[in-house]
Copies of this chain bind each other. A is one copy, B any other.
Amino acid sequence: MKTLGIIGGMGPLATHDFYRKLIELTPAAEDAQHIPVVMVANTLIPNRIAAWEGRGPSPLPALITAARQCVESGARVLAMPCNTAHFWFEDMARAVPQARFLHIADEALRACPRGDGLPLRLALTGTHATVAMGLYQSAAVRLGMNVQWIDVTGVQASVTAAIASVKAGRIERAVAEYQRALDVLRSAGAKTVVMGCTELPVIAGSVRSGVLLIDATETLARACIAACMND
């Protein structure tokens, strides 16, 4: 069994959510059957959104340090439960060639159904930055997937409001906003919707989606379990 390195702390609750899913999804009856984990959750890593918008210092040096610390403590598989930070994924991966670094968007897309030759009608819901960075679009190209991206003006405002409401603990408001977004996306033809943000899975059970909802954090946890155990 390989040791998993978790580059976390962005934010702490997202890291905690990923770690919980990792434990719950691992087929283990006792401690020793669980995956050994090394986690570096440096909450002082410079703000990713600010850096991406050119308003603050790059988080890359701190991200590379965290990845190296995981590897030095024995990690051979790496995961980073934060969509936005994947903007620096390639530079990080080059700095830790000893480890297999799993990409959250790749794993989420691998969990989507293939369209039997037809394009997969897919929508991404997440923060404005995650969507605008094109992380998932690049991943689809990398994986050679035939995707028709469903994007409708105005949906991002509902998704942003849903995420902010979850963060603020206003669950009823969050469900209403996310329901509105999903209704519009389904009407526009979306069959599968990726929740590319750690807040949305919290309310996924409370919406009537009519689409296949993919939890990116959960798909990353499942991929880590497979990568660490099948060895």
Binding site for B on A (CB under 8 A): 1, 3, 6, 8-13, 16, 19-20, 23, 26, 28, 30-45, 47, 69, 72-74
Contact = CB atoms under 8 A, between A and B. Distances in A.
Contacts of A6: 39
Contacts of A10: 31
7 contacts: A9-B31, A11-B31, A12-B26, A16-B20, A31-B45, A38-B41, A69-B73
A48 B54 CA distance: 50
A46 to B, nearest CB: 9
Number of copies of chain A assembled together:
2
Given A16-B20, A69-B72, 11 more contacts: A3-B42, A9-B31, A12-B28, A16-B19, A32-B47, A36-B41, A36-B44, A38-B40, A38-B41, A39-B39, A69-B74
A23 B13 contact: yes
Contacts of A43: 31-37
Contact of A1 (B1, B23, B44, B45): B44
Contacts of A35: 43
